[in-house]
Each structure stands twice: as C-alpha cells, then as structure tokens.
Chain A
Amino acid sequence: GESVGLHLPTLSVQEGDNSIINCAYSNSASDYFIWYKQESGKGPQFIIDIRSNMDKRQGQRVTVLLNKTVKHLSLQIAATQPGDSAVYFCASRNTGTASKLTFGTGTRLQVTL
C-alpha cells in the first residue's frame, strides 16, 4: 500500500543548532511534497514544498531535500529556535489524484534551551 513515514517520532535539539527531520515515502508516483508544522490544538501550517523535478529547495531558515532514488525527503531547519517546537509532517501527492495528500506519521521537534 501507499505510505509516507517518518524515521524518528521525537527529535530533541538544542537552541541554535540545526535540525534535520526525515521522511520516507513509498509511492514512486508521488510528484509533489510538502512539509507542515503543527502546533498543539492548531491546524497544519505550510512550511515549504518541492516538486519531483527538483532535489533541493530553500526557504527562510528551511531547506527541503528530495532523493527520488531512495524515496526520501528531509527538512532542515537552521539555527533552531524555541518557536520551532512543534510536530512536523511530510505529505505527498500522487500524480493525477486531484490534490489529494497523504500525510506521514509526524515527528515532534523539541527545542531545548
């Protein structure tokens, strides 16, 4: 079946360090990927996206890397701040599924002072 999963359920990072959150997906037909941040009791917040014709995309303090060969996606957060503490989800869309997204299991990022 189709799945999008994360390797680590909880990641603890010291403030100021870089964070790397990983995600594996299984469907080679996935053509679009998104990272979301979700704070407690709130809806998902868009962070960054990447299409399958790219292998890297950068935003403000965040970078997404895509390795289609091994079906792996990562989110890098530079200079992690306490406000980055949240649960992070990757999501994928398969070609032709009319924007339907499949979410990964989520990683909780804890930023320690």
Chain B
Amino acid sequence: GAVVSQHPSWVICKSGTSVKIECRSLDFQATTMFWYRQFPKQSLMLMATSNEGSKATYEQGVEKDKFLINHASLTLSTLTVTSAHPEDSSFYICSAGGGQGAGLRREQYFGPGTRLTVT
C-alpha cells in the first residue's frame, strides 16, 4: 500500500515550452503533497507544499509563477514548469502525506521522480 506514481518518468522539452508533471497517490488519499527538486549529486530541495483545494505554499526563492502547482483532488497534484529553460533541467520528485487509512504510518510517501531535460 501507499504507492505514489509520477508521470512522465522522463521528459525532454524545448526551451520556452511548458511541461506538466503529474503526481498521484494510487491507493490512499493524500491531503498534502510536496514537490522537490534534485540536481545531480545534490540533496532534495523542497519547492512547495500543496494542500488539496487550496493554494500551494512555496519555499523561499521558488518562483510560483514559473512552477505552477495544482492539487485539485486528494489523489492528484500537478507541477507545471512554464517557459522552461535549460537551467530548469532537474529531477523532480513528489511525495504525498497526510493520508488516511490503515497502515499509513509515515510522514511522506515518495514518487519515483521525473527527469526533465530542457534543450
């Protein structure tokens, strides 16, 4: 149980275009979802926290107009990188938390990540 999926697993896009990444909790309802960014050989950096039905809370230094987050349901959150540039190339990881259900003991359940390459 407590599986989180991401789609796509990897994406290549051209500079200036927008790309959407989906994060789904497959077998539980998550009231909170988190989006992280990870550069090669570095740690996970929290970008934003989203709660179902409300606006996301962005970490300092993260442009909310560039990284649009939507958390429309208890099982789906999306991250849209708008007007992507090569420096946005990174590994984006989501996690889901605040779930309700038997066996959910942990704070966050992580997705497998999405590799974004902007050319």
* 21 A-B residue pairs with CB within 8 Å: A34-B106, A42-B113, A43-B4, A43-B6, A43-B95, A43-B110, A43-B111, A44-B44, A46-B109, A89-B43, A89-B44, A93-B107, A98-B98, A99-B34, A100-B34, A101-B34, A101-B46, A103-B43, A103-B44, A105-B42, A106-B42
> How far is it, in angstroms, between the C-alpha of A105 and the C-alpha of B4 when the chains are bound?
24
A101 and B107 form a contact (CB under 8 A): yes
A43 and B113 form a contact (CB under 8 A): yes
Interface string of B1-16 (1 = CB under 8 A from A): 0001010000000000
B112 and A43 form a contact (CB under 8 A): yes
Using A41-B113, A100-B49 as known contacts, say yes or no to A46 and B106 having CB atoms under 8 A apart.
yes
> How far is it, in angstroms, between the C-alpha of A34 and the C-alpha of B115 when the chains are bound?
24
Q: Does B108 contact A (CB under 8 A)?
A: yes
In the complex, how many angstroms separate the beta carbon of A21 from the nearest chain B beta carbon? Answer: 14
B residues engaging A (CB < 8 A)?
4, 6, 32, 34, 42-46, 49, 91, 93, 95, 97-98, 106-113, 115
In the complex, how many angstroms separate the beta carbon of B90 from the nearest chain A beta carbon? Answer: 13
> How far is it, in angstroms, between the C-alpha of A75 and the C-alpha of B97 when the chains are bound?
24
